[in-house]
Chain A
Amino acid sequence: MPLLLGFIFGGVGFAVGAGLLGAIRTSMGLEFWSTDMSWSIAYPVALLGWLAGVGGWKYWATEWFGGTPAVSPKGVSRYFEFNMDHKVIGIQYGVTFVALFLLSGLTAMAIRYELMHPGMQLFNEDQYNAAMSFHGIGMVAVAVAIVMGCFGNYVVPIMIGARDMAFPRINALSFWLVPPVAITLVIAVLLGGWDTGWTAYPPLSVLTKSGQTLFNLAVTTFGVVSILGGINFIVTIIYERAPGMTWGRLPIMVWGTFAGSIIAFFFTQGFAAGLLMVLFDRVIGTSFFGAAHGGSALLYEHVFWFYSHPAVYVMVLPAFGAVLEVLSHMSRKPLYAYKWVVGAMLGIVALSGVVWAHHMFTSGMADYLHAPFLVLTEMISIPTGIIFLSVLGTIWAGRLWVRTPMLFALAFIFNFTIGGLTGIYLADMPTDVHLHDTYFVVAHFHYTIMGGEIFALFAALYYWFPKMTGREFNETLGKIHFFIMFIGFQLTFIPMFQVGVRGMNRRIADFPAAYEGANVWISMSGFLLGISFIFFTVNMILSWVRGRQAAANPWGASTLEWQISSPPPEHNFDEIPVIQEGPYEYGVPGATPHARLTGAVKHA
């Protein structure tokens, strides 16, 4: 019902915005409708209408104007409207982004079908570009937001012994900005799409068709989501920790979220500014990027990568956190070199801001920039190496419980090693001038983002599924999902390294016949990879609906979220817990428990 209201109010808002603009334009003797401008004006008004409709008015704004805010329902319906409980929001993020992940994944299947043979099969060039661009931004959005949005929201407040996030309303607001982003992108594709990938480089993005305007509006909104989320996590983790939860006792997942949030908060604004500048060039005739009127196309590349390189760490730092969490609990050993890992995470945060121009070695930027960015980029391998030390030290001589979450966590390590090592080829000028913008790059970032972060996502998903849903998942289906996904992933992306070196460039609707053999192989493997998600989807739905009741602590883990019922009660803790020890004291003789839930009432 509030969803329907959201759509209606959103539609009304769109009509009002476009109508007002049209009236002004008509009075000036212009045409009523001008696609790019009308959309740019109507979109923010529609956004406000949507927010009001889905519950922003009923639960929040009305109070400001002297009304009485409504009370949230208890059942399933609360997931479909504005709700301020961090656990509801976590599940909202999780489900929304898994849906977007599957949709973008289906697009990838279509792309692989097209690229199986030379010539055009399924698409024409224009449709291919639209599909490729949608797959790109869809997956980037998933990767940026899903681990923090879902598990950051659901688990982090519980882990630090808080009853909710610091700003629950902002939290709900930032989630409810997500559906309009996804819907706008889908509408853009249905109206013909845009053809600049997820990077939106001008001058093309200034000159191309109107789908680009919708892209810029949607993705700027997504930037707002990311910034609001980042602020909320930073404040929550600084101020909402339970007594005794010192910085040295924070579970590593919390540290990962904290580090990722700093980057999201600090750098996303660069991207948003770049997108708005493109929008201004398109709609109101500024010339930030047009050479003919004194603009510079390189300016955008700098602004864009100033965010978009750090964005990789917004994706991967919480993923590191989740994986290390799983590895420690499921090896039943302390997290190896914990404080070094924290230092490494913060080191990555610091370095992430000064490496962006490694994406621009062939852009024609000034020569003197090459050496410093080469050196700084390769420095990132030093803190990343610490993470690997921690991984190996944690599983070594442990009691490894090789269940589905553990398998995904271990695979993350393997994939991320390949992703990291192949990154060095791209940071080095002599090889990068050949490999830049080839399938070698495609393979590399799929190894870091899909092989890395998405594998970590599944580790986290299976690990916390019993906590979040109160149900057990099916272990056999989980393992089938893992093995098909792992093998399909390797078979798909390893040959891409090779075909890239051989001279196949990326983002192309068609390729020379010489690369056909490799592409048939890649597509076939890609379909295998796609099949794994059928097992995943079936498992999630069946287990959630009719899985066995999960125990409070099925993994025997020490952190706080496992000390309360599955799913947790509404305000998490009846009394604020007291933290008395680090979170990973496995095997330490005579260690006191991590937390004391003084006199806590057990919930069934």
Chain B
Amino acid sequence: MENYWNKEIECMSREDMKKLQDERLVAQVKHVYENVPYYKKLMDEKGVTPDDIKSTADLHKLPFLTKADLRDAYPYGLLAMPLSECVRIQSTSGTTGKRVVAFYTQHDVDLWEDCCARAITAVGGTKDDVCQVAYGYGLFTGGPGLNGGSHKVGCLTLPMSSGNTERQIQFMRDLGSTILCCTPSYAAYIGETVKEMGLTPDDLKLKAGIFGAEPWTEEMRREIEKSLGIKAYDIYGLTETSGPGVAFECSAQKGMHINEDHFIAEIIDPDTGEVLPEGSKGELVFTSITKEAFPLLRYRTRDICVLSREKCSCGRTLIKMSKPMGRSDDMLIIRGVNVFPSQIETVLIEQGYAPNYQIEVDRVNNTDTLDINVEMSEEQFSDTIKGIQEKERELVEAIKTILGINPKVHLVSPKSIARSEGKAVRVIDKRKLHD
């Protein structure tokens, strides 16, 4: 039996949803144009006024907003409500450049928590559940978002925040946690610690986990499910768009339903900005349609994914997005094919290699070349040339299957790939040097 937090919205007919989106989009555009000079300037430059936006069909007329705009406008430049009406801020970690600060009115907090409540309900959560929130609390949106959603659903909420893993497991056992919310890497770590402590999934009451805020693979999902004896679900969101809960996975575990009554999703070609038809792979763009303090029109997430309106077995009619497959800023076009370093990384991990590699793209006689240097471990080293070439051939085959183009793979010594600040330099595009 599928449970819904808001069945009317989650299973709404496409026609009704479109009507709702049209109304809300018109109002949202008007709201930002009148209250945010930054947006007014962007729209004026593009020659668009709120009168030009009559429905979602006009969405493409609006200018894009990028992370650079958010940094430019820091801290108050995109604020659409008086500060006296705002009740909360959340912020990005700011690992690259300046932080982004997002503002919330009480209405904004409510709708965000409501989105998280839908996610918790979709994994089977009810007021009888014990929900352990092991996302970080504070400026990071993970903890506060799921905490709020858990309250709405009526779960007994354990605001653990992240870290102190043995204590996490202690509480999990003593209070019988049934739902775990944290990053997938932390869930995997908790799973390992459970084993190290001599426990098995049978010692826990956990049944489901909601894991987001970082990329993870299907293989990781299987590992976490096994080590904790649960079903593991994905959740998507960005601080800029409010936090986790913009999209959430259902019982089908095959893509995340986007809360379309609050966010309109588009897929664009990251190079041209052109809107691509449903089912195309491209950059995900979000437009908020209900936010008060920090609305976003056509915000470029830089996440590459695919949207699908295929009928879902859970009964929800909300459009689904795939797991992000990479970042648009990392995308390489090689022989006309879109290639993401993350795709190559996934193959390497699946084939038992550490993700220490370097991609070298060049152009020889007007043809793009793709060379991939991969660090091998001692176990992978063989004392025969044949043995090493065989390993290289296996990698070529596996990568070719995923990318559709033939790379050259070179196994190299451990730690031989140049690192910058501890991270291997992933891509060297020599074509740019020639232009």
The answer on A and B forming one complex is no
- A interface, CB within 8 angstroms of B: none
